[in-house]
A and B are shown apart, each in its own frame.
Chain A
Amino acid sequence: MSRLQKTLANLKASGKTALIPYITAGDPTPNATLDLMHLLVEKGADVIELGVPFSDPMADGPVIQKAVERALEHNVSLDDVLEFVRVFREKDEKTPIVLMGYLNPVEAMGYEAFANAASSVGVDAVLTVDMPPEESVGYKEALESKGLDRVFLVSPTTPNSRLTAVNEKGSGFVYYVSLKGVTGSKELDIEDVANQVTRLKSTLKHPIGIGFGIRDGHTAFEMAKLGDAVIVGSSLVSLIEANEAKGLYDIHLAIGEKMTEFRGALDRADAKKGQE
């Protein structure tokens, strides 16, 4: 079992929902990323999703688009992101890291070169938004041979007929996109997610992480009742934007506070599940 699989299995065994925060690597500056990653862990992250900046983030809303732009002002590349992970691992061997981004930077590096580099620095899994399982020939094999998990997305529009490919090509967990829209969208329909996740659980063999549109403790609490993991991105990243002018100290305070809200919500949901 991979580090990611083990982490999720252990959490499940102890009745806990995984908290997976997302930040964009290099946002607001490359210097900030490592400290932010350690802060996330300190505040209750079980897994970190680290965004790889791409010039054309077509599935992202304005919040993450701007984060990517901030990172790209410093020319943060996939190589740089791998370097962040390498240095992160000097202090943290435990927390799984999922790289999230778009396919082209990985294509530019080459699947095998990327898989080699990613596994050697301690990346655990990769999620490329514009790579559906159908196109993952070569990609899947390259990552698999280096023990890297492949996280695929499933959405409200995904028919059951597509889930087989997700089971076969994917591993680690499946990322359920809780709404039709881009990252940071507002209207998450809790009842709809509940119905969908019930549908998915009967077919998917991997744990389910729920993300998109989770902006507060209340929603996180509701999602924790449904999924194995809760993924939060734009609500954290928007705090980087809001506090950028004030500096890193204020960014840490704001992110720490928000993480505490999410962690608390998940713990409450887990406690409640435990009683039932």
Chain B
Amino acid sequence: MTIDFSKFPDKNGHFGPYGGIFAPETLMAALEQLDQEYESVKNDPDFLSGLADDLRDYVGRPTPLYYAERWSKELGGAKIYLKREDLNHTGAHKVNNTIGQALLAKRLGKTRIIAETGAGQHGVASATVAARLGLECVVYMGADDVVRQAPNVARMRMLGATVVPVESGSRTLKDALNEAMRDWVTNVDNTFYIIGTVAGPHPYPGMVRDFQVVIGEEARAQILEKEGKLPDALIACVGGGSNAIGLFHKFLADESVDIYGVEPAGHGLETGEHAAPLCKGTPGVLHGNRTYLMQDENGQILGTHSISAGLDYPGVGPEHAWLKDIGRVNYVAINDEEALQGFRDLTRFEGIIPALESSHALAYATKLAPTMTSEQTIIVNLSGRGDKDMNTIAQIEGIEF
């Protein structure tokens, strides 16, 4: 393959036909300003070393690459390595991005940050950096998600953030994004919008990716050190796609590495009750970019379902849309039941309680690993820990709190 993946997006934010800036006019100047600011710092040694210091001393990077030996042997097949993003401060990969964007917010002189959140991990990570920098923080969260991710709501409030439950539409992540956009249009002068995934209008998809590629950079060096060779496969779950692109990006040029992005199949792809736009959607425009969407024939966005709030979104980052079309990444789907089994397996075989989002990636590994040899390796991005999902799991398993 001769594509230079580092050259994307182009300067207008396009990944092939996807991405771009489909935003209300009021935001265009702010997006342009952000783009310029980000362009000016992204190769600036001072900015990058400040970021690296924060990632090391505050977030706790590098995160380990852990060989899940017992689980691998149980499955029989490839050796499975877990990239332990669950061990980051605040418990998921999301903080890699909020640290970076918060530094930009400071540089732009913004005093208030807003964020949307599904699982609450991005909300927590935003509230955390806001507390550290002394910025006001408002987090929009679908009303249904406020209930199913209650522990994270409490954490955000403890950190001093205002959590606004969004009652409109499907009361999940997409509606939180709509509401955050409305806030931003209204308060654009003093407010920085920290988008939590590789979606939204340019420059967000490329910028958030750049803040997340540290995952794959570390993982690449770590696997080379441990195994002396590249992995045979990578697996990550895909909501908006930030943990996935973070792991994948530095491996895209390595043709020998098979890459799998796992979408949530919810009750099953055939039921229509899922959140798998790459597997079952069609291209369209939503939330500032052109990408694959779950939509009806009239272009109305469909309601989604996933057991995991962080994956319960009808769109996906535009770079994934493009990687799908050019065939570099395989997008597959795992349903609620399978994800729960992945959750149970990792918990019981390795003593690691994963987030329900990450459990989708784990469940795919249980399918893939047995088809491979014991000389081969897989890296699964363990994007977050499962503390936030205690309520959901306890209810399903009949465990009393």
Spell out A's residues near B (CB within 8 Å).
Answer: 53-61, 65, 69, 72, 75, 77-79, 102-109, 129-132, 134-135, 152-159, 162, 177, 180-182, 185
A-chain residues with CB within 8 Å of residue B185 when the two chains form the complex = 59, 180-182
A131 touches B22 (CB 8 A): yes
Closest approach, in angstroms, between the C-beta of B165 and any C-beta of chain A?
Answer: 15
B-chain residues with CB within 8 Å of residue A135 when the two chains form the complex = 20-22
B-chain residues with CB within 8 Å of residue A159 when the two chains form the complex = 29
Closest approach, in angstroms, between the C-beta of A83 and any C-beta of chain B?
Answer: 13
Contact of B298 among A57, A65, A105 (CB under 8 A): A105
Q: A72-B300, A106-B299, A108-B297 are in contact. Are A158 and B28 (CB under 8 A)?
A: yes
CB of B178 within 8 A of chain A? yes
CB of B370 within 8 A of chain A? no
The 9 closest A-B pairs by CB, nearest first: A108-B299, A105-B299, A77-B298, A153-B25, A155-B26, A181-B186, A104-B299, A55-B300, A58-B178
Spell out B's residues near A (CB within 8 Å).
Answer: 12, 20-30, 168-169, 174-175, 177-178, 181-182, 185-189, 282-288, 290, 293, 295, 297-301
A109 to B12, CA, bound (A): 25
Closest approach, in angstroms, between the C-beta of B15 and any C-beta of chain A?
Answer: 14
A120 to B301, CA, bound (A): 27
A152 to B25, CA, bound (A): 9
Closest approach, in angstroms, between the C-beta of A240 and any C-beta of chain B?
Answer: 18
Q: A158-B28, A158-B29, A181-B185 are in contact. Are A130 and B22 (CB under 8 A)?
A: yes
B299 touches A56 (CB 8 A): no
A-chain residues with CB within 8 Å of residue B288 when the two chains form the complex = 130
A-chain residues with CB within 8 Å of residue B24 when the two chains form the complex = 58-59, 129-130, 153, 155
A130 touches B23 (CB 8 A): yes
B-chain residues with CB within 8 Å of residue A61 when the two chains form the complex = 182
B29 touches A157 (CB 8 A): yes
A59 to B185, CA, bound (A): 8
B-chain residues with CB within 8 Å of residue A102 when the two chains form the complex = 285
A182 touches B25 (CB 8 A): no
Interface of chain B, main secondary structure:
mixed
B-chain residues with CB within 8 Å of residue A103 when the two chains form the complex = 22, 285
B26 touches A65 (CB 8 A): no
Q: A132-B21, A158-B25, A180-B186 are in contact. Are A65 and B168 (CB under 8 A)?
A: yes
Among residues of A, the one whose C-beta sits closest to the C-beta of B24 is A59
Closest approach, in angstroms, between the C-beta of A169 and any C-beta of chain B?
Answer: 13
A-chain residues with CB within 8 Å of residue B285 when the two chains form the complex = 102-104, 107, 130
B30 touches A157 (CB 8 A): yes
Among residues of A, the one whose C-beta sits closest to the C-beta of B290 is A107
B21 touches A134 (CB 8 A): yes
B182 touches A109 (CB 8 A): no
A152 to B29, CA, bound (A): 15
Closest approach, in angstroms, between the C-beta of B357 and any C-beta of chain A?
Answer: 22
Closest approach, in angstroms, between the C-beta of B271 and any C-beta of chain A?
Answer: 20
B-chain residues with CB within 8 Å of residue A58 when the two chains form the complex = 24, 177-178, 181-182, 287
Closest approach, in angstroms, between the C-beta of B33 and any C-beta of chain A?
Answer: 10
Contact of B26 among A77, A104, A106, A156 (CB under 8 A): A156
B-chain residues with CB within 8 Å of residue A56 when the two chains form the complex = 169, 174-175, 178, 286-287, 301
B-chain residues with CB within 8 Å of residue A131 when the two chains form the complex = 22
Closest approach, in angstroms, between the C-beta of B50 and any C-beta of chain A?
Answer: 29
B-chain residues with CB within 8 Å of residue A182 when the two chains form the complex = 182, 185-186
Closest approach, in angstroms, between the C-beta of A112 and any C-beta of chain B?
Answer: 15
A72 to B168, CA, bound (A): 13
24 of the cross-chain contacts (CB-CB < 8 Å) are A56-B174, A56-B287, A58-B24, A58-B177, A58-B182, A59-B185, A61-B182, A65-B168, A69-B168, A103-B285, A104-B284, A104-B286, A105-B298, A108-B282, A108-B295, A132-B25, A153-B26, A155-B26, A157-B29, A157-B30, A180-B188, A181-B26, A181-B185, A182-B186
Q: A65-B168, A185-B186 are in contact. Are A180 and B26 (CB under 8 A)?
A: yes
Closest approach, in angstroms, between the C-beta of A12 and any C-beta of chain B?
Answer: 24
B-chain residues with CB within 8 Å of residue A158 when the two chains form the complex = 25, 28-29
A270 to B22, CA, bound (A): 37
Contact of B12 among A104, A106, A134, A177 (CB under 8 A): A134
A54 to B284, CA, bound (A): 13
A104 to B185, CA, bound (A): 20
Q: A56-B286, A58-B287, A61-B182 are in contact. Are A155 and B25 (CB under 8 A)?
A: yes
A-chain residues with CB within 8 Å of residue B175 when the two chains form the complex = 56
A130 to B287, CA, bound (A): 9
Closest approach, in angstroms, between the C-beta of B176 and any C-beta of chain A?
Answer: 11
Contact of A79 among B22, B181, B282, B298 (CB under 8 A): B298
Among residues of B, the one whose C-beta sits closest to the C-beta of A135 is B20
A12 to B256, CA, bound (A): 67
A-chain residues with CB within 8 Å of residue B286 when the two chains form the complex = 56, 104
